[in-house]
Every structure is written in structure tokens, then in C-alpha cells.
Amino acid sequence: MYLPAIGATHCIDKFELFQQHNRRAKSKMLTGMVKEHMARQHLRREQQEKLKNEAIVAAHGLTEVLVDHLNHREPEYHYFRGVIDDIFWRPSVSHAYNQQKRLDVECKKLEAQSVALARHADAWVALVGEMNQALKEIGDVDNWARAIETDVALCAATLERAYRSGTSTEEDDDGCNSTPPSRS
């Protein structure tokens, strides 16, 4: 039996054509899958956005209904030992909110006044400290003046005794010389 010889290049060419065809087919399939995936994602996003908007509208409606209900409450009966004591109205949310705002304003005013009071107190403390220091200095001057006065009185008494006794070089009873010592 005789088989015709098929060239190696012919087989390789056919194989390459087959691979190229497979790559194109796979590429088309992959591209199609990506497009389908993107379309599904887009559809999901639209659905999620629609649901989100519906939830926002529903939540807004719920909050309006709740606030209206809380603001316009019917009287509530309180029983105490089986007897109706009185009818108490619950304060509304808007009333509580306004009260809270008023309290916040008052707290801010109080805080500002407290800061001002602290500053004034610090100023008074500084002023009292300065006054105390001045009094200490006056006390030092007073003490110095008394010492000088005592020294001057002692010298005056010594001079007076020396003048009366007529001796200027003898020592007095108090131990002071009436004349300065000689420098010899």
C-alpha cells in the first residue's frame, strides 16, 4: 500500500489555521459572555437603584407619620391606685426640640459667663498678689526706717551725753564711742 507523503509544513499550516479558528471562536464566546455579564450587572444596578429610591421614599413617609403622631398625641389617662388622677398631655417632639434648643442657648451663655467670671477672678488674684508684694516692700521699708531711727536716736543720745559731760573720747554707758576711732 502506498500512502502519499504529506508534507510537514502542510500539517503545521492546517493545525495553525485550526488554532486560529478556535481562538476566534473562543474570543467571540468570551466577548459575548462579557457583554451578557455587563448587561446583567447594569440591570441589577437599575433594580437596586429603584429599590433604594423606594426605600428612601418609604422611610421619609414613615418619619413624617411618626412625627405627626408624636406631635398630635391624644391625652393619656394615668391611673393611680385605681382612680383617674388627672389627664396628662405628653409634650410634643417639636416642643421638646424647642426646649432643647433653648437649653443649648442658655448653656452657651452660662459657659461664656463662667469664662468671664474665671478671668475676673484671675485678675483679682493677680491684683491681690501685687498688693501683698507692695505691703511686703512697705514692711521692709518700715523695718529699715525703724532700724535707722533707732541708730539715729542712739547716736543723738550719745552726742547729747558727750556734750553734757564734756568728754568726747570716753566711752559712754551704752558702749558707743562718741568720736570715731583714730586711724593710726
Q: How do residues 137-161 score in pLDDT, each as one tens digit?
A: 888 888 888 999 999 999 999 999 9
The residue whose grid cell reads 459657659 is: 111
> Each residue of 97-119: pLDDT tens digit?
888 999 999 999 999 999 999 99
Q: What is the mean pLDDT of residues 68-89?
A: 54
The residue whose grid cell reads 448587561 is: 39
Q: What is the mean pLDDT of residues 68-96?
A: 57
Cα–Cα distances (Å) from 54 to 47, 48, 66, 167, in that order, read 11, 10, 18, 124
pLDDT band at residue 81 under the 50/70/90 scheme = very low
Element (H, E) at 49: helix 8-71
In angstroms, the CA 103 to CA 95 distance is 12
Q: What pLDDT, on a 0 to 100 scale, did the predictor assign at position 180? A: 53
Q: What pLDDT, on a 0 to 100 scale, did the predictor assign at position 106? A: 96
CA 13 distance to own-chain centroid: 79
- In sequence order, the 6+-apart residues with CB closer than 8 A to the CB of 85 are 78, 79
Q: What pLDDT, on a 0 to 100 scale, did the predictor assign at position 96? A: 77
Q: By C-alpha distance, which of 117, 116, 113 is closest to 105?
A: 113
Element (H, E) at 80: strand 76-80
